[in-house]
Amino acid sequence: MGEGEPRACAGAVVREAVGACLLGLLRLVYHRPMSENRESTPRGSGLGGTVGSTGDGVFRNDANRLGLDYATEAGLLPKPPAPIIDIHAHINGRASARVWARAADLYGIERVYSMSRFQDAEGVREELGDRVRFIAFPDWSHADKESVHRGAYLDIIRQYRERFDASVVKFWSGPALVDHAAGDPADLVEFDSHWRVKQAELATELGMMFMVHIADPDTWFRAKYTDTARYRLKRDHYASFERMLDRFSQPWIAAHMGGSAEDLDFLDGLLERHDNLYLDTSATKWVVRALGGHPNDRVVRFFTRWRGRVLFGSDIVTMDDHLRAEKANTISIKSEQASTEAEAFDLYASRYWALRAMLETEYAGESPVVDPDLHMLEPDRFGEKAAPRLPGLALPRDLLLDLYRTTAESVVEAFAAAR
Ligand SMILES: [Zn+2]
Q: Which domains does the chain have, with CATH numbers?
A: 80-364+392-418 (3.20.20.140)
Ligand 1 center from residue 380 Cα (angstroms): 31
Pinpoint the alpha helices (H) of 4-147: 7-11, 17-36, 70-76, 94-106, 118-128
The secondary structure element, H or E, covering residue 180 is helix 177-180
CA distance linking residue 97 with residue 123, whole number of Å: 9
- Letter for the amino acid at 29? V
Integer CA distances (angstroms), 359 to 71, 178, 284, 394, in order: 19, 35, 12, 6
Ligand 1 center from residue 208 Cα (angstroms): 18
The secondary structure element, H or E, covering residue 213 is strand 209-214
Ligand 1 center from residue 287 Cα (angstroms): 13
Ligand 1 center from residue 139 Cα (angstroms): 14
Ligand 1 center from residue 90 Cα (angstroms): 6
Closest alpha carbon to 133 in 123, 142, 125: 125
Ligand 1 center from residue 205 Cα (angstroms): 24
Quick one: DSSP state of residue 295? -
Ligand 1 center from residue 200 Cα (angstroms): 19
Q: Does the predicted model carry a pTM greater than 0.85?
A: yes
> Is 264 buried (19+), middle (13-18) or exposed (0-12) by CB count in 10 A?
buried
The secondary structure element, H or E, covering residue 317 is strand 316-318
Q: According to the model, what pLDDT value does residue 327 have?
A: 87
Q: According to the model, what pLDDT value does residue 17 have?
A: 35
Ligand 1 center from residue 278 Cα (angstroms): 15
Helix or strand or coil: residue 314? coil
Ligand 1 center from residue 58 Cα (angstroms): 30
Q: According to the model, what pLDDT value does residue 332 have?
A: 77
Q: According to the model, what pLDDT value does residue 213 have?
A: 96
CA distance linking residue 181 with residue 186, whole number of Å: 10
Ligand 1 center from residue 392 Cα (angstroms): 23
Ligand 1 center from residue 351 Cα (angstroms): 13
Ligand 1 center from residue 64 Cα (angstroms): 21
Mean pLDDT by runs of 10 across the 419 residues of the chain is 31 33 36 34 45 94 97 96 98 97 98 96 97 94 86 95 98 89 84 95 98 94 92 94 98 98 98 98 96 98 98 97 88 86 97 98 95 96 97 97 98 95
Ligand 1 center from residue 317 Cα (angstroms): 8
